[in-house]
Chain A
Amino acid sequence: MTKAPHELREIAGWMAATDIGLLELRTPGATVRLGRRGEEVVTLDHSQRADAQLDGPTVAPDRNAAGLHPDTVTAGSVGVFLHAHPCATVPFVRAGIEVLAGQTLGLLRIGVLLLPVVASRAGTVAALRAGDGATVGYGAPLVELHPF
């Protein structure tokens, strides 16, 4: 799960719009640290060291390594997971309801931006794995789906 340069650029862009000073992305293969230097976000460290040498994880690891259910929808970006639209009081989904592929399950708030978190397939919502308003890292489990 190596991040392509364009993905890193996008993540650096998201980060520049927040007040996050340091962002660490860790996968079994590599670790990338993005840091703020004045107005710029730069790559501080791009190491191949084993995870064991680093401190406690700040970002969800690879879904297989974490034993995630294959139909768990994960965060495509760092952000704040929202169960409902800011204008609404009713959440998009709750455990037990059936959803269609592509249906909006929640939102990821990144600064002023709202991105949809959508169902990867049709199924039943088994659980919301991140709380409403929780700050989540890239790849964090958000919604667990069970196929019909």
Chain B
Amino acid sequence: MIEILSNVALATVQDLGRLGSLRFGVGTAGAMDDLALAAGNLLLGNEAGAAGIEIPVFPFKLRFTADCAFALTGADCGARLDATPLLPWWSHQARAGQVLTLGLPQGAQRASRALLCLPGGVDVPEVLGSRSTQLRGAFGGHEGRALRKGDVLRAAEAQRACRTGFGLVPPAFALPQEIGGLVALRVLPGAEYLGFEAASRDAFWAGEWRITAQSDRYGYRLAGEALQPVAPMELRSHGIVPGVIQVPHSGQPIIQMRDAQPSGGYPKFGTVIEADLWRLGQAPIGSRIRFIETHWDEAVAALEQKEAWLAKVARMVALRRSAPMGAAA
């Protein structure tokens, strides 16, 4: 069991998302960095989609009230177990009473969200096929809300002995994608793409976009050269998914994220491909990003590449977890 000691809001229980409920008007939610959540779960021998805790605000503290294995992935935030520094993207063992502290994200590959996984996943009820927190609807996760001081959470398999003490090469190194040192995201042109001026379309691909402070799990508001429509576009509200890039009248795009509402009426310039949403989920506020034009086949191939990385992780971790206990590196 763990007890939250920090009073910072916005840490939430998330799995890979509430898929298949958009038709009921229920958004997907789910981890902003699905790759980090899946990898953290695999490190502990969990199903890749078990629920973990997404932590976007630091410092963050919790106490283990019983012995428990755990995995930390996502942002490298100089974690400590009591006074002992912990490696990022690593599985660890906590003893009852130990306090886990996550500090500010650090390192050259500065990310913005840490993921904490526990054996068997965080034990919260499944609602509409998922354990993700649906903040807008106030259901799912832990009581349908962000975690706060005093909350006590249980690991579904708290008693399971876990082989710990090893880690992974973070996927930002294994699957890098940058232009001029900036995180780059692949985008499929959207339904209204050709409704924008050619110069705006060129500027979108060529320019740098800053992630503004008006960015959260619902969506990222970007700042850059305003995108001009050829003629004003008025659309009826229609279904949208995480990754959709909308352009409101200001011309400054908004990228819908995991907690996006399932419908909207702004023109759609494009969609960040599903395989790259984890990169965006980790891009800090104030950082700049670039876009790369892509097409359907490449987007599917990117998804397969991501799955292949996870399959490799699952295979290597299974070997490590089954190795004789005496075998050290």
Contact = CB atoms under 8 A, between A and B. Distances in A.
Interface of A: 6-7, 10, 13-14, 17, 75-77, 79, 85-89, 104, 107-118
Interface in B148-180: 165-170, 173-174
Interface of B: 76, 87-90, 107-109, 165-170, 173-174, 309, 312-313, 315-317, 319-320, 323-324, 327-329
Given A87-B76, A88-B107, A110-B316, A116 B327 contact: no
Which residue of B168, B174, B319 has the most chain A CB atoms within 10 A of its CB atom? B319
A17 B312 contact: yes
B302 to A, nearest CB: 18
Contact of A114 (B107, B167, B327): B167
B320 A115 contact: yes
Contacts of A77: 327, 329
Nearest to A104: B87
B316 A113 contact: yes
Nearest to A14: B319
Contacts of B174: 112
Contacts of A117: 329
The 6 closest A-B pairs by CB, nearest first: A115-B329, A13-B319, A108-B329, A114-B167, A113-B316, A87-B76
Contacts, number: 75
Contacts of A113: 166-169, 316-317, 320
A86 B327 contact: no
B107 A112 contact: no
12 contacts: A6-B324, A10-B319, A10-B323, A76-B329, A85-B88, A86-B169, A89-B108, A112-B174, A113-B317, A114-B169, A116-B165, A116-B329
A10 B313 contact: no
A76 B166 CA distance: 14
Nearest to A92: B87
Which residue of A7, A13, A75, A86 has the most chain B CB atoms within 10 A of its CB atom? A86
Nearest to B39: A112
Contacts of B327: 7, 10, 76-77
A127 B154 CA distance: 45
B222 to A, nearest CB: 27
A114 B169 CA distance: 7
Contacts of A10: 319, 323-324, 327
Nearest to B312: A112
Contacts of B329: 75-77, 79, 107-108, 115-118
